[in-house]
A = this chain, B = another copy of it.
């Protein structure tokens, strides 16, 4: 009995590529394609695949992590393999937390994708080699938990807002903004707004 796979990616070309790769394996059969998270969810309920191969970035609507969480909430829940171009720490952790059975970089060889799908179908977890160590590192020193307010400030910061502007936007005084900034800096281990934005981007925090 072959392993059934649902492909989720917003790029037709990538879907075609994945289908071609998966069709090359005798024990795999692609049972559907979806372009959005919403579509993926609906199709999963209909066709009940063994594995969902899902891009992390899906253009409009739900992203890969939200889709993963929604799919894993179904029962019986198929394994979800996250596929992506980038290797941002926060996203890896987010995907794993959302119940993903693995995380693959798009740059990997076709054989690796097949291997990952088969591992996932057997209930295992597959992480691209270069990601495994990063995840472990991430586990050791988990990403700092920013409060909602702090994330709000961080987002404004990333748009280049000054303290004065953020204060206006958030209806607080400049002093309060500075206070939030200090907390953000401490949690991110930096000492300037510019660097805070940089690490926030790097870790996928924003």
Query: A residues bordering B, Cβ < 8 Å?
Result: 10-21, 59, 85, 106-110, 113, 157-162, 190, 192-199
Contacts and interface: CB of A to CB of B under 8 A. Distances in A.
A140 to B, nearest CB: 24
Given A11-B85, A85-B11, A107-B10, A157 B194 contact: yes
Contacts of A106: 11, 13-14
Contacts of A108: 12
B110 A12 contact: yes
Q: How many copies does the complex hold?
A: 2
Given A13-B106, A160-B192, A197-B197, 16 more contacts: A11-B85, A12-B17, A12-B107, A13-B14, A13-B17, A13-B110, A14-B14, A16-B20, A157-B194, A159-B195, A160-B193, A160-B196, A160-B197, A160-B198, A162-B192, A162-B194
Contacts of A193: 160, 194
Contact of A17 (B17, B159, B160, B195): B17
Given A192-B160, A193-B194, A197-B160, A14 B17 contact: yes
Contacts of A162: 192, 194
By Cβ-Cβ distance, the 4 closest A-B pairs, closest first, are A17-B17, A160-B195, A160-B198, A160-B194
Contact of A161 (B13, B21, B194): B194
Given A160-B197, A194-B193, A195-B159, A18 B13 contact: yes
